[in-house]
Amino acid sequence: YYPSFGNPLLQPEKGRHAELGLQWTGDGQQARVAYYEHRYRSFITAGPQPINLPKARINGVTLSYGVQWRQFTLDASLDHTDPRNDTASSANFEKLLPRRAKDTARVAVSWQSGPLTLGTQVQARSHRFDDAANASRLGGFTTVDLDARWALRPDLALTLNLGNVADKQAQTALGYDQPGRSALLALRWTMK
């Protein structure tokens, strides 16, 4: 453990997890809905000084849809999660667990013609809290990414990724900014 960071007394998490889902596939489309429930004992909290929270629960619903039509592919998902402190004796009982957004949405669209593929992805996240008392609120944010891929051969491709093209400033933890606008040009070789 780095000085002033971590907790050498942490115990392993234990939990019970359940998921119920329904999926439909047909005509180049796929839709899915899933409900999940996680119950934790000795939940390890986020942050520089993590502790074991005696009880925590995370319930949620995920909806997703995908379709391929001609040269286009669309993938979309919506996640709603309810992460809570479930320790009745805690001062923060029923508060949201730190650094977890309740809602996340993602839409990705791509177009392919021969060796060229162009795509975009939009992700939106709701606000979250940086602390267990839910006093330090971090705002929600949306990012847009663009990408292009040119297949030079079946095992070789030139790719260009532009991340966070609107240069949206955001934090998922207090004091830690997420990357701003970025660009990555790469030559990718896939070994057979």
What is d(CA 47, CA 61) in angstroms, rounded to the nearest whole number? 26
The answer on pLDDT for 49 being more than 90 is no
Residue of 119, 58, 51 whose CA lies nearest to 83: 58
Which pLDDT value is given to residue 52?
92
Which pLDDT value is given to residue 50?
87
Mean pLDDT across the stretch 186-191? 93
Which pLDDT value is given to residue 189?
94
